């Protein structure tokens, strides 16, 4: 995707970890920044497109299951019967009911709505951890990339950047030989995942907003042989690798029972984990495991809203930050769809467990918790996508969002506190406009979403 070079002028912009003023921003024809110049003169400002508010870098949403947008708000009632457990595993059964109904057209409509919402929330690239591969009866589609291409079309319709992660899912648990019937749409092999990757690459060639990686659903869902087969392919192809890991205590206990090691411990001992790897959740870890992840150059993807919604637990941010570990954020099941909410909940979960304030600022050596969190999320986003998405910096893709300073939470806010206000003052400040690779994205796209939801759930 190429376009003509563009010049913007921002009265205020977040550049290299702080606010800069009177900033000239030039986007080259390839959609990357060619100039980021604070304190631009009036002559340099001439003939530019003047942006109406402060500019923030676009943020990577490093973990998404788009189809789960269809159940946001629909799993918040307890199960029937006295003593019925309501936890991650009961939620998962309800989630499967959606997974086994959604058609490709419905997935495209749901993802289009979701991606527009994510753009409106300041995200400009989403890592789609995609395991909904097969037809409703579990049989492969004639085109194995049928469901994946529905997500690609949704991204292209809205202008969202997309890192598609076709996901390997082969068995229901460590001792199982296959999948449960309600997991039939997830069935895949290393070979089928490679076919999807190559099909999407061919379909999106030349689109700078879209790339691919691979994902392993979890250690319980694949054999060690299959895991290594797929990740060896990813290494040869220089693709990012994502995996759910150590999200739930039961998952950790099951792994110990069947391997005599904890999930991250096993992964680090038996797999060539490196900087392309992204460990999603890692909620239940030891200090040694976090040190091992950091030493390998791998990243962790934290999903604070979903981890709270599902009762997963709280990630050890102080311990990992002390190691200068790399992390990104994701909205996962999409109970929230703004990066400011995810960062706020990440900090507040730490304050609740540590009984302290400004935990991120303290552990990351910053004055501002919002600044510490945003900068860390930007660094981790590059690892999650394998793309140059590090903010307002020459050579990085020109992804940015324009804040509406008339938002109630920002009214009267001193200019140098606007990021703090965005993250820690509710209701959330609005973005007037969002750009991906220098192109204006579409923040409103609900065509077909209501009809898809009605077809799925009625009402």
Reported as a pLDDT band with limits 50, 70 and 90, residue 176 is very high
**At residue 329, what are phi and psi to the nearest 5 degrees?**
-120, 155
Q: Give Cα 399 distance to the centre of its chain.
A: 15
Res. 446: pLDDT tops 80: no
Q: Is 420 an annotated catalytic residue? A: no
The answer, yes or no, to whether residue 2 has pLDDT greater than 80, is no
Q: Give the mean model confidence (pLDDT) for residues 415-441.
A: 96
Average pLDDT over all residues of the chain: 95
Residue of 130, 133, 242, 281 marked active site: 281
Superfamily of domain 59-385: Metal-dependent hydrolases (3.20.20.140)
> Binning pLDDT at 50, 70 and 90, where does residue 370 land?
very high
**Active-site residue, 65 included:** no
Cβ–Cβ under 8 Å, residues 113 and 157: no
Question: In this structure, is the dihedral angle defined by the CA atoms of residues 124, 234, 193 and 199, taken in order, positive or negative?
Answer: positive
Q: Which CATH number fits domain 6-57+392-440: 3.40.1350.10, 2.170.270.10, 3.20.20.70, 2.30.40.10?
A: 2.30.40.10
* pLDDT interval class at 444 (50, 70, 90): confident
Q: Which of 332, 334, 399, 428 is catalytic?
A: 332
Given a cut of 70, whether residue 156 has pLDDT beyond it is: yes
Per-residue model confidence as pLDDT tens digits over 287-346: 999 999 999 999 999 999 999 999 999 999 999 999 999 999 999 999 999 999 999 999
Assess whether the region 6-57+392-440 and the region 59-385 belong to the same CATH fold. Answer: no
Model pLDDT for residues 49-96, shown as the tens digit of each residue: 999 999 999 999 999 999 999 999 988 888 766 566 788 888 888 899
Cα–Cα nearest to 302, from 391, 189, 383: 383
Domain parsing of the chain, residue ranges:
6-57+392-440, 59-385
Distance CA 141, CA 121 (A): 34
For the record, the structure tokens of 375 come out as 């900068």
pTM of model > 0.85: yes
């Amino acid at each position: 995707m190429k376009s003509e070079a563009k010049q913007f002028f921002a009265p205020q912009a977040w550049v290299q970890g702080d606010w800069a003023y009177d900033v000239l921003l030039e986007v080259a024809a390839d959609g990357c920044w060619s100039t980021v110049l604070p304190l631009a003169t009036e002559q340099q400002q001439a003939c530019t497109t003047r942006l109406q508010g402060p500019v923030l870098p676009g943020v990577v949403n490093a973990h998404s299951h788009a189809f789960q947008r269809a159940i946001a708000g629909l799993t918040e009632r307890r199960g029937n019967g006295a003593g019925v457990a309501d936890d991650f595993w009961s939620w998962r059964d309800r989630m499967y009911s959606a997974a086994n109904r959604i058609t490709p057209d419905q997935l495209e409509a749901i993802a289009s709505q979701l991606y527009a919402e994510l753009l409106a929330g300041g995200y400009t690239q989403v890592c789609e951890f995609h395991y909904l591969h097969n037809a409703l009866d579990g049989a492969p589609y004639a085109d194995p990339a049928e469901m994946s291409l529905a997500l690609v079309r949704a991204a292209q319709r809205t202008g969202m950047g997309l890192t598609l992660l076709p996901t390997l899912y082969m068995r229901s648990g460590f001792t199982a030989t296959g999948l449960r019937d309600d997991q039939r749409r997830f069935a895949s092999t290393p070979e089928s995942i490679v076919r999807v990757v190559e099909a999407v690459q061919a379909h999106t060639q030349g689109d700078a907003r879209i790339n691919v990686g691979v994902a392993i659903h979890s250690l319980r869902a694949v054999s060690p042989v299959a895991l290594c087969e797929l990740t060896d392919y990813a290494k040869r192809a220089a693709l990012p690798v994502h995996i759910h890991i150590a999200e739930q205590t039961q998952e950790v206990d099951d792994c110990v029972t069947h391997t005599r090691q904890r999930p991250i411990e096993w992964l680090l001992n038996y797999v060539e984990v490196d900087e392309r790897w992204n460990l999603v959740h890692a909620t239940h870890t030891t200090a040694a495991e976090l040190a091992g992840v950091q030493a390998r150059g791998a990243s962790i993807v934290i999903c604070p809203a979903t981890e709270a919604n599902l009762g997963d637990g709280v990630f050890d941010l102080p311990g990992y930050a002390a190691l200068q570990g790399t992390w990104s954020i994701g909205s996962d099941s999409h109970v929230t769809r703004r990066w400011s909410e995810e960062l706020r909940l990440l900090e507040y979960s730490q304050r609740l467990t540590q009984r302290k304030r400004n935990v991120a600022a303290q552990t990351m050596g910053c004055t501002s918790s919002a600044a510490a969190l945003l900068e860390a999320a930007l660094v981790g986003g590059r690892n999650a996508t394998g793309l140059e998405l590090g903010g307002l910096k020459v050579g990085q893709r020109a992804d940015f969002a324009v804040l509406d300073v008339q938002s109630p939470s920002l009214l009267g806010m001193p200019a140098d506190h606007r990021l703090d206000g965005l993250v820690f003052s509710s209701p959330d400040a609005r973005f007037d406009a969002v750009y991906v690779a220098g192109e204006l994205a579409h923040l409103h796209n609900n065509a077909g979403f209501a009809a898809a939801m009605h077809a799925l759930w009625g009402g």
